[in-house]
Amino acid sequence: MKEPHDDDAALFRSAIGPVRKLPERAAPPAAPKPKPRARMAERDEANAREEFRHPLAAQLLEAEDPLAYRGPDVTSAAWQRLRHGEISAQEELDLHGADARTAEALLRAFLGDAVRHGLGCVRIIHGKGGRGRNEIGSSGAPILKNLVDRMLRQRASVVAFHSPPPAQGGAGAVLVLLKPPGRR
């Protein structure tokens, strides 16, 4: 018995008539391969940035918590002067109203400029959070304050920082000691 597809094939050949083969031609050039990318490195970098922005909840500072970090090379006398606001800031950065991405970029640029200009102490005003929308994260902690804390701890040029006395900004600001120009 003939299969139904055999009849279809014969019907098709009779409908199209004789077939002639096309002359052989060289294949068109292949599309250029994309340049290699370090996708794993890009993914790792993106993950690190994301982790940096979202610390563990146990590490979050509250609005009234002071920012404080003392590097191993800071003397007790210098630490006490910083804590009491006795070291004057040579420049100041006010991050009020900035979103986290903008604040991060501004802080990086500000610290880079301070180091390039040989400054010893700067003040960063981050606020306590809570007055504007986007100032408090889903955990209830101030976003900019925690961002500033994490960024300062990771900068090699920062040797110490502490929230100043209330008259100089209190828990809404931080005084930052930078490495002396000769030791950078």
For residues 84 and 133, the model is more confident at 84
Q: How far apart, in whole angstroms, are the C-alpha atoms of residue 72 and residue 82?
A: 15
User: Quick one: average pLDDT of 80-86?
Assistant: 93
The answer for residues whose C-beta is within 8 angstroms of residue 148's C-beta and 6 or more apart is 67, 95, 103, 107, 124, 126, 174
Please provide the CATH number assigned to the domain covering 90-184: 3.30.1370.110
Q: Report the chain's mean pLDDT, rounded to a whole number.
A: 82
29 against 138, higher pLDDT = 29
Q: How far apart are CA 69 and CA 14, in angstroms?
A: 89
| Number of alpha carbons in the 13 Å side-chain half-sphere of residue 73 | 10
Q: What angle do CA 149, 154, 157 make, to 5 degrees?
A: 105
pLDDT value at residue 56: 46
Q: What is the residue extent of each domain of the chain?
A: 90-184
Stated pTM of the model? 0.64
Percent of the chain whose pLDDT exceeds 70: 80
Q: Which amino acid is at 2?
A: K
pLDDT for the residue numbered 49: 64
- Of the two residues 150 and 43, the one the predictor is more confident about is 150
Q: Are strands 91-94 and 68-70 parallel, antiparallel or unpaired?
A: unpaired
